[in-house]
Amino acid sequence: MKAVLVILALGLLLALAPPARAQGVVATATGAPTVTELGEAARSDVALATVAAPPEMSPPSVATPGALSAPALSTTPQTILSPTVPAALAPAAPATQAASIGDPSGPLEATPPPPDVRVEVSLSKQRMVVSVAGVERHAWPVSTARKGYRTPLGTYRPERMHKRYFSRKYDNAPMPYAIFFHRGWAIHGTNAIGRLGRPASHGCVRLHPGNAKALFAIVSQYGRANTHIIVVR
């Protein structure tokens, strides 16, 4: 009960006393440090904080950017030396390989010319021999000009060729697989198969239709420019 009365008395004194006196009264009553004592303690703490640090604890100095010097750069061009490769290890030039894969700059193989076709007609034997590249392929009976007509002698080349042809001079007679070699003279097939082997024509060289077709195919294959027709006596 006494403690309650003391607290009420203190509250009344605080309400009526000035602020400074009230502060002193409160501090005295509660036993807490006064404001003045707190200020002096704070100033002493600041003084302790400003004591110089020992030399070994001083922070290292930091150089300013201007004090830093850039590494010197040389403006003289330097020669880069390439490693020397021994001759034994150096790769060989692929000349042979380039030529083997069709390099236009490489050597080109010459294309052999087509073989010659030789068609020889013998008037005395009434026979035709066909050779290709010097090798005999065929030997057939023929009919050449009968008496009163002629088959011209000499060496000729085919001038024109017709699978189907009809004579304009001799009653529109058929001349299948005709190979004209000199003006109106030609080698061609005939229906007069029974007369083959002896003179019977108006001057052309007659052949069996099957043989005429075979000769036409050979000349077409190797070309007229590579074919020689030779008529001998």
- pLDDT tens-digit series, residues 203-230: 999 999 999 999 999 999 999 999 999 9
Q: Are strands 205-207 and 185-189 parallel, antiparallel or unpaired?
A: parallel
Domain range annotation of the chain? 2-36, 117-232
Greater pLDDT, 202 or 96: 202
Instruction: Please write the tens of the pLDDT for every residue from 121-169.
Output: 999 999 999 999 999 999 999 999 999 999 999 999 999 999 999 999 9
Angstrom distances, CA of residue 182 to CA of 127, 167, 205: 19, 15, 12
CB environment 140-170: b (16+ within 10 A), e (fewer): bbbbbbeeeeebeeeebebeebeeebebeee
pTM across the whole model: 0.55
**Alpha-carbon gap, residue 144 to 188, rounded angstroms:** 11
Nearest CA to 142 out of 203, 183, 184 is that of: 203
- The dihedral of CA 29, 32, 33, 35: what is its sign? negative
In the beta sheet, which residues pair with residue 127? 122, 141
Question: Which CATH entry fits the domain spanning 117-232: 3.40.50.720, 2.40.440.10, 2.40.30.10, 3.40.50.1820?
Answer: 2.40.440.10
Q: Give backbone dihedrals phi and psi of 230, rounded to 5 degrees, phi first.
A: -120, 120
Q: Per-residue confidence at 198, pLDDT binned at 50, 70, 90?
A: very high
Instruction: Please write the tens of the pLDDT for every residue from 64-103.
Output: 444 444 445 555 555 555 555 455 555 555 554 444 455 5
In the beta sheet, which residues pair with residue 139? 129
Residue 30 has pLDDT above 70, yes or no: no
Residue 201 has pLDDT above 80, yes or no: yes
At residue 116, the pLDDT reads: 97
At residue 114, the pLDDT reads: 87
Q: Which of 10-19, 41-50, 112-121, 207-216 is the least confident region? A: 41-50
